[in-house]
Amino acid sequence: MGNVLQIDAELKNIVVRNEIDNSPFKIGDSLLKIENKSIDSFQDFISIVSILNNNESVNVLVKRDNSIFTLKCSKEILEKIRFNNLISGFATLTYINPVTNKFGAVGHPINIGNTKKIPIKSGYISCTNNLSIKKSSKGCVGCVSADKKFVIGDFHSNTNFGIKGNVSNLDLCSYKKYKVASLDEVKLGKAQIILQDTDNKCKKYNIEVVGIEKQRRPASKGIKIKIVDKELLRQTGGIVQGMSGTPIIQDDKIIGAISHALENNPAMGYAVHIKWMVEENS
| CA–CA dist 177, 81 (Å, integer) | 48
Question: Is there a domain that residue 174 lies in?
Answer: no
More confident residue, 84 or 114: 84
What is the mean pLDDT of the segment spanning 224-230? 97
Question: Is the pLDDT reported for residue 169 higher than 90?
Answer: no
pTM to 2 decimal places: 0.92
What is the mean pLDDT of the segment spanning 115-126? 93
Kindly give, in sequence order, each residue whose CB lies less than 8 Å from that of residue 216, ignoring residues fewer than 6 positions away.
none
**Do residues 90 and 155 share a domain?**
yes
| CA–CA dist 247, 192 (Å, integer) | 8
Which residues have a catalytic role annotated?
A: 108, 229, 244
Q: What is the pLDDT of residue 114?
A: 74
Q: What CATH number did the domain enclosing 66 receive?
A: 2.30.42.10
Q: What is the pLDDT of residue 65?
A: 84
Question: Is the pLDDT reported for residue 223 higher than 70?
Answer: yes
3-state class (DSSP) for residue 230: helix
Residue 42's domain comprises: 18-81
Question: Is the pLDDT reported for residue 282 higher than 60?
Answer: no
Choosing from 81, 100, 118, the residue where a domain stops is: 81
Mean per-residue pLDDT over the chain, rounded = 94
Q: What is the pLDDT of residue 281?
A: 60
Count of domains for the chain:
3
- In this prediction, residue 263 has a pLDDT band, given cuts at 50, 70 and 90, of confident
**Do residues 186 and 249 share a domain?**
yes
